[in-house]
Every structure is written in C-alpha cells, then in structure tokens.
Amino acid sequence: MLTDAATRVYAEKLDENDPLNAYASLFYKEKQTVYVDGNSLGLLSTLAEEATLAILESWKRYGIDGWTEGEHPWFTLSESLASQMAPLLGAHRDEVMVTGSTTSNLHQLLATFYKPDSTRTKIVADELNFPTDLYALDAQVRLHQLDPQDHLQLIKSRDGHTLAEEDILAAMTDDVAVVILSSVLYRSGQVLDMARLTKAAHERGILIGFDLCHSIGSLPHSLSKDDVDFAFWCSYKHLNGGPGSVGGLFVNRRFHSERPGLAGWFGSDKEKQFDLATSFTKAAGAGAYQMGTPHVLSLAPLIGSLELFSEVGIENIRRKSLQLTDYMLTLLSEFPETRQFKVMNPRSHRERGAHVYLEHPEAARICKALKAQHVIPDFRAPSGIRMAPVALYNSFVDVWACVRTLAWIMREETYKNFDNERGVIA
C-alpha cells in the first residue's frame, strides 16, 4: 500500500510550504521535462542571461574600452566575482579568485604547494576521485621526476562508494607532502568532514587541499575557519554558470606571500600590470594565481547567477536540498518497483551531499528510458544513476514525478527497448 507521501497532492503541499518555490520561475526549463542533472550542468537563469547580454553589449559599445568602461568592467570582473563568491566559501574576500577550471586550478595549486623534499614526497588522494584530478596529480608527481607508483597514494574505498575517515587518517603518514580530497564525492555524494581532516593533516605537518565541485553552491563552507590550505572548483554545476564557465580557487591567507607556481600577467598587482615590466609583481591575495587574460564571456553568466545565491542564502539552499533528497529517498522506498535500486549515497544529513545515487545493473538503459519520458538523470558507468533535485529550481512535484516515472519504467520494463551501453557523454 502506498502512503499519502506517494501522491501528487502531498508533493504539491510541500511546494506550497516551500519558501524557495518561486525561484524556479527564474530558470529556463522545458515544460514537461524534469531536470535532475544540475550537478553536471546547472540550468540557465534569466539573471545569468541578462548579465551575459550586458557583457556582449559592453563589447558592442565600447570595444577595447570595455576593459574599463560599462556596468561590469572586464579588467576587474574576476575580482568582483570573487567578492560575490567568497561568502559561499566562508572565506575572506582576498582568499578567493574566480579563474581557470578545476583541472587547471589544481595544476596551479600543486605547482605552488607540492614541493617534495628529502622526507615528504607523497601526494595522497583517493581512488573514488574524479579522474581529471587523478590525472593531474599523476602528472605533477612526474614533473618532479618521481614515479607515481611510489609517490601518488590512493586511499581505497571499503565499499566502492564511500571513504572511511580512519582510512584517510591512516594514510597521513610522515612521508606525505600534500593530501587532495573532495568535499563531496562525485558519485556517492558523501560529504567529508573538512574541518576534522584539515586539523588532522596539520597535526602531521601535511598540507591539504579540497575539490569543491559538488559542494560549491549546494552546501555552506567555512574554509577560513577550518584553516583549509587551498581549494578549487568549477562553476557550471550547482553555481549555474553555464557550460565551461570559469572556475575558482581559494588560497589561505597564510600563504599569500608565496609566489604562484605558474605565473602570468593577470596574476600581477593590478596597479602594476600595465607597467609591462619584465619582472613580476604579484597581486597581494589569491588574485596572484590567475594566469592569462580572463575568459570574459564565460565569466559573464556568473554575475547574474551569483546574485541569486546571495539573495537566497546558502543555508536556505542546503535546507531545501536536504528536504528534496529526503523526499526522494522516501519515495524510492514507497514504490515497490523502485525498492530494487541500491541507494549508495550516505543517509545521514551530515554525510549526504546534494544528490541521490542509485546502483542498478541496467542503469545505462534505465537512464535512456527516463530521458524518453522527459526525466533527465545522470548516468555514471558502469551501473550508477545520479539524481540531483536542485533547491533553486526543482520542486517537490519534480521529485515525485521523477521517482514515479522511474517506478513506471521498471514496472512496464520500457528500459528493455534500449541497449545497456553508455552514450559519448554520460
């Protein structure tokens, strides 16, 4: 017997009582489509669209003078966006810069902070991290003429989905120079305790950096208070900055006298940059880690998108996000057809990120069948389905429709009309 929770009326009630409900109308969504893939690519808001048009307008109108004229002068755009972004990170404004991509920022930060010496040579990461991070770590170890077999250590997962804190702590041995972890694991959505891990690393004389791709814009951070050494992220997932939008980095004030490993003229002190001197005078804060000319058109949407985050508040976003995933988990156990999915994300609020992660051997074609019914999930090979109901634009009715459609597909076995192979992008 289904309970009331499984009815559309119940979901509608939840929407009526949701203080963030109205924000969904600011996003472009296809009618009839339930988009639960905002942790891969967030949707376009009217605010982001308007900001992008404003930047195009300043190019039209001012040409080269757009660097200093117009509503959002390009020369200081990265800096002003960093001020907008800092509250989402719990960071001092001068510790954040909007620049680069996750991968390029990781390279920059390792080029700066990974300095193997006669005792500490290793980088510790985990086998569940997103491949690009691991490729970058492998390459950085090789740049120091070291063998990744011996100097890049990946913490193993006991269950294939999550990391045990004891295993992370055990890997922090006295030959480790740097630890790189995710704040939220990209598959299972497990939230790691950044404060605790940072403290443990520092007690052992190890530097620690975090990849925030799945936590920026979905949950609050306190990087300064937690004394994290450095962090990096993208802005096209929960921040809704658009495909390939500019990422960001955090460098703790303690290191602001360090020279960036990879220097470039946009890392200059802004007053000095156009002296065009042959020697580099770096910016005082995290701005020093910029390299070349900023990708202005890929910064533009963030101007509008970040406004929305400061208006709504990240605490409110996190609260609703947990309510949405709570409801999704309830519904998955309500419908008899969806009980066959293995829920592999952590259940507790403390450890649960912003998406639900399911495992099923037929996942690839179940995702295709969902798309055919206008539900957009995210397939992760070989057998994972991520569903991210996003607080700013998904409703409780969306969650209901998503799980009900999944139940229907399993009951009618419509997934059998598709092959169980992944597409090029999955």
Ligand X SMILES: *Cc1c(COP(=O)(O)O)cnc(C)c1O
Which residue lies nearer to ligand X by CB, 135 or 274? Answer: 135
Q: Which stretch binds ligand X (CB under 6 A): 7-15, 99-107, 361-369, 401-409?
A: 99-107
Rounded to 5°, the CA angle 68-270-221 comes to 100
**Residues 153-192 interacting with ligand X (rule: CB under 6 A):** 182, 186
Distance CA 241, CA 377 (A): 19
Candidate list 45, 78, 102, 405; residue touching ligand X; CB under 6 A:
102
Question: Roughly what angle, to the nearest 10 degrees, separates helices 314-334 and 296-312?
Answer: 80
Nearest to 47 by CA among 27, 29, 76, 66: 27
Which residue lies nearer to ligand X by CB, 228 or 407? Answer: 228
CB of 182 to ligand X, least distance (A): 5
Nearest to 34 by CA among 371, 386, 414: 371
CB of 298 to ligand X, least distance (A): 11
Q: Any contact of residue 130 with ligand X (CB under 6 A)?
A: yes
Q: Any contact of residue 126 with ligand X (CB under 6 A)?
A: no
Which residue lies nearer to ligand X by CB, 106 or 399? Answer: 106
Catalytic residue among 37, 386, 404, 415: 386
114 is catalytic: no
Candidate list 101, 108, 245, 345; residue touching ligand X; CB under 6 A:
101
Distance CA 257, CA 185 (A): 31
236 is catalytic: yes
386 is catalytic: yes
CB of 102 to ligand X, least distance (A): 3
DSSP string, 145-213: T--HHHHEEEEPPSSSS---HHHHHHH--TTEEEEEEESB-TTT-BBP-HHHHHHHHHHTT-EEEEE-T
Q: Any contact of residue 99 with ligand X (CB under 6 A)?
A: no
Q: Which stretch binds ligand X (CB under 6 A): 130-138, 248-256, 345-353, 416-424?
A: 130-138
Residue 345 identity (one-letter amino acid): N
Which residue lies nearer to ligand X by CB, 247 or 287? Answer: 247
Name the one residue in this structure whose structure tokens are 């991290």.
Answer: 129
CB of 126 to ligand X, least distance (A): 11
| Cβ atoms < 10 Å from Cβ of 80 | 15
Question: Roughly what angle, to the nearest 10 degrees, separates helices 396-412 and 363-372?
Answer: 120
End-to-end CA distance of the chain: 35
**Residues 237-266 interacting with ligand X (rule: CB under 6 A):** 247
Nearest to 112 by CA among 279, 221, 229: 229
**What pairs with residue 407 in β-bridges?**
none
Q: Any contact of residue 214 with ligand X (CB under 6 A)?
A: yes
97 neighbors 88 (Cβ within 8 angstroms): no
Catalytic residue among 37, 94, 211, 378: 211
CB of 397 to ligand X, least distance (A): 28
388: which DSSP letter? Answer: B
253 is catalytic: no
Catalytic residue among 236, 327, 341, 379: 236
Q: Any contact of residue 323 with ligand X (CB under 6 A)?
A: no
Tell me the number of residues near ligand X by CB under 6 A: 13
37 is catalytic: no
Which residue lies nearer to ligand X by CB, 94 or 211? Answer: 211
Under DSSP, is residue 81 helix (H, G, I), strand (E, B) or coil?
helix
Q: Any contact of residue 133 with ligand X (CB under 6 A)?
A: yes
Report the catalytic residues: 130, 211, 236-237, 386
* Contacting positions for ligand X (CB under 6 A): 101-103, 130, 132-133, 182, 186, 211, 213-214, 234, 247
